[in-house]
Structure 1
Amino acid sequence: MQRIQEMIKVEMTYSSANCANELEIIWLDLQRRSNCHYFLTWDWFGAWLQQVKQPFYLLKATINNQVMALAVIFEKERKVLGLRSTTQWWLNRTGEEALDQSWIEYNDFLIDKKYEYELRHALMLFLSKQDKWSEFIAGMLSNKAEETLDVLSNNKRNIIEDFGYQVNLQDINTSYKSEVLSRNTRQKINQTQRLLSQKGYLSFRVVTLPKEKLQTLNSVRAFHINKWKNTPTPSGFENPTFVSCFKAQLLNKHSEIAELTLNDKPIAYLINYLYKDRVYFYLSAFSNEFEGKVKLGMYLHSLAIEHYRERNLKYYDFLAGKSRYKQSLSNSEYAHNMCGYYKSSLVFSIESTLRIIKGRLDH
């Protein structure tokens, strides 16, 4: 290990989206040598990076001039307690809500799997020595990524504490419904199928061709906007940056759309990403003409899960979010957090104390 660590060279250079073509080449090469999740592939992350059009720091680790680790770091200024300006570094995010609405999950460094432990150690050592940042923000993080970043600072706050839910399809022998779902959940799904069937003919399909995926986009957009209008979190389809990213991500080979129709009329969609042995559920859009006992989401997810199990995928991942339906449809969970690390200072100590007091009062 000592020998490898001595060979690792870590550097950070100022860059921009104009260099995306050059970055794509080395990113794709490293991606093939990594164990990354889909959100760190160039198909997803590259599409987002080319749309945000903001300068960034490119963090890079090499061994014998071969790139072994990469990350993109955006810099942002904020006022602490409305008084002191402080510098934040964001891992693979800008820190701007509108630009980050294409939400990254399983955020991490892109790392060659051969020397993953040594490379993580070298990256943390390098970042901890940088004096420009006062806060380092990263999320959403798996346990492994969070444990890596915990060495950055003894001062940490959990910005978002969440769980992700998934179905381990390998644990199912014959039937997803009978082996994973509770009696109550099965009843809701069967009731939905019965109520919809009384209205006509139901059809399920998975759309994989780029042209067909584009053709469904208007319906997906309309359903999604209607669901989230007049809420604190409006639909991403009203955000030009999100739409541009989503279109690029939708058209690559890893995206699929599960569609449910009633009498040949679309009533529900799921946007899924497939990478290696995992299905990532990213976005849903439903018609608003069904309410009450009709659980479109539960029913469509159950169909999609059975479909992907038959295709020998290993996991159906609902990603982060403590929604009740995700818990009801899953057989495993994992922690998924956004964390902030900050350097010791009086103003941060005061802010941290005030957060604790506010949290207790809210509770």
Structure 2
Amino acid sequence: MDEINVTAEVLSIEQFNLLEHDWNTLFAKSEQRFFLSWNWMGSWLSILPSQSRAMVVKAVVNNEIVGLAVFCHSNVRRHGFITSSQWHMHRAGVAELDQMWIEYNDVLCAKENQLAVRDAIIKYAINYFDFDELAVSMATSSRLSTKSSIPSHSFWVDSTAHPAFKINLSKPYKPSKNLHRQITKTEELLASNGGLSWSITSSQEEVFNILDLGKHWHQEKWRETPTPSGFDNAVFESFHHRLIEHNNDENKVVVVALSHQNKLIGFNYLLTDKHSVYFYLSSFMPVNDNRIKIGYFLHNKCIEWATEHNYQYYDFLAGESSYKQRFSDERYCLFDNILQKKKLSFYAERMLSKIKHKLVRK
């Protein structure tokens, strides 16, 4: 491969349309996962506050763009005494702005020479940005870059794995006997009162209507937990409004809705690209009868639809929920990778973490 030239420039309003063109052109040559489509990236960039520091890093070979990534800066304080200047790839580093939660995070690059292009961009970021921590969250690889790109005397490299699950639809899908029994029983109990129906749509108007009717169940379920519903976050809602508006033939939001007696009782919110259907979130009416598994029934319908439309995978994404494991036949991992400067405050934080871990184990 010829020499890779890497540059960085501030993402401005004037540059936004040009970036969209360059991004879509390169995306067409990539493995084309939804989370690196302009649907996702453009929607995310559009909700960043005007004061955000966002940099576009570009890799070029022979005047052709072969790699793109966007890094955002944030300042954080942990434990009351540790401060850190951070740069995040395809995240803002602020909880409110990151609740939409990118997965399959990576440098956008063509299928050819992915490793070399990724290394070039990460190496450039290490040398160009002034940082305490450089983070690539929910990445496809635990390998941030080649070891030669990261001076070990100056940095620690940490990688945390997040288990994820999916179904390979190239093989006949067959749920376990117990799972099949629960799905069948759910259908019998709901249909016994008549009027059970399900529908699937990517129409903007219909998707917005379903979300408005059913999101309150999601809000009520998660409101008093450490991870409240994104529907309680105006930034999250704005992002998804834009995401739905970006729907196109190959990369789009699809909603599967379940109704009983003409009233919505639940929905699954899906993301789709050329190869996969990604389960993003669900919201459904709580029921007192523990024999009724609305979530199971919805997933079964989604999997049937994905199979009929020749998708290769139904992907539950990261998270160790038991239902994901019950449905899935493949397990994989996504990784939080952090490059951390070797400084005294971080060393103290690491020592305290080790002591705490030992005490918990005892």
How big is the shift at 1:187? 2.0
SS of 2:332's equivalent in the other structure is strand
Q: Which runs of 5+ in 2 are unaligned?
A: none
Query: Shift of the alpha carbon at 1:23?
Result: 1.4
Percent of counterpart pairs with the same letter?
Answer: 32
Distance change >3 Å, CA 65–CA 11, structure 1 → 2 = same
Could you tell me which of 44, 49, 54 is aligned with 2:45? 49
Task: Tell me which moved more, 250-259 or 234-243.
Answer: 250-259
Shift of 1:153: 6.0
- Mapped contact 2:103–2:139 kept (Cα < 8 A): yes
Alignment equivalent of 1:65, drawn from 49, 63, 66: 63
Say what the alpha-carbon RMSD is for the aligned residues.
Answer: 1.9
1:231 matched to which residue of 2?
Answer: 225
**Once structures 1 and 2 are overlaid, which stretch shifts more, 336-345 or 315-324?**
336-345
How far does residue 292 in structure 1 lie from its aligned partner after superposition?
1.6
How many residues of Structure 1 are paired with residues of Structure 2 in the alignment? 350
CA apart distance, 1:95:
0.7
**Where do residues 84-99 of structure 1 align in structure 2 (5 Å cutoff)?**
85-99=83-97
Give the AA of the match of 1:56: A
CA distance in 1, matches of 2:146, 2:113: 19
Q: After TM superposition, which residue ranges in structure 1, 4 or more long, deviate above 4 angstroms?
A: none
What secondary structure is seen at the aligned counterpart in 1 of 2:97?
A: coil
SS in 1 for 2:113: helix
Contact 2:82/2:346 (CA < 8 Å) preserved in 1? no
**Residue equivalent to 1:316:** 314
Asked if the contact 2:32–2:273 (Cα under 8 Å) also holds between the matched residues in 1, the reply is no
1:253-292 superposed matches below 5 A? 253=248, 254-292=252-290
In structure 1, the partner of 2:9 is 13
- Of the structure 1 ranges 215-224 and 257-266, higher mean CA displacement relative to structure 2 is found in 215-224
Whether 2:242 is the aligned partner of 1:243: answer no
Code of the residue aligned with 1:205 in structure 2: it is S
Give the whole-Å Cα distance in 2 for the aligned partners of 1:311 and 1:36.
18
State how 1:1-363 maps to structure 2 within 5 Å.
1=1, 4=2, 7-16=3-12, 19-53=15-49, 54-79=52-77, 82-83=80-81, 85-130=83-128, 132-143=130-141, 146-149=142-145, 151=147, 152=150, 154=152, 155-158=156-159, 161-172=161-172, 176-177=173-174, 181-251=175-245, 252-253=247-248, 254-363=252-361
Q: What is the DSSP-based 3-state SS (H/G/I as helix, E as strand, rest coil) of the residue aligned with 1:206?
A: strand
**Contact 2:43 2:239 (C-alpha < 8 Å) held by counterparts:** yes
- How far is 1:320 from its partner? 0.5
Q: Alpha carbons of 1:262 and 1:84: their partners in 2 closer, same or farther (altered >3 Å)?
A: closer
Residue type at the aligned position of 1:207: T
The one-letter code sitting in structure 2 at the alignment partner of 1:187 is R
Structure 1 gaps, min length 5: none
Q: Quick one: distance in 2 between partners of 1:163 and 1:291?
A: 31
- Cα distance, 1:190 vs. partner? 1.7
Question: Which residue identity does 1:194 align to in structure 2?
Answer: E
Aligned partners of 2:182 and 2:293 also within 8 Å: yes
- Residues 17 and 100 of structure 1, relative CA distance in 2, 3 Å threshold: farther
Q: Deviations over 1:95-139 (max 9, x none)?
A: 100011111000111112233232123223323334611211111
- Cα deviation 1:2-24 (Å, max 9, x = unaligned): xx2xx210111222456322211
Query: Which SS does the other structure have where 1:171 is aligned?
Result: coil
With 134-143 and 94-103 compared, the bigger mean Cα shift is at: 134-143
1:81–1:237 Cα change, 3 Å: closer
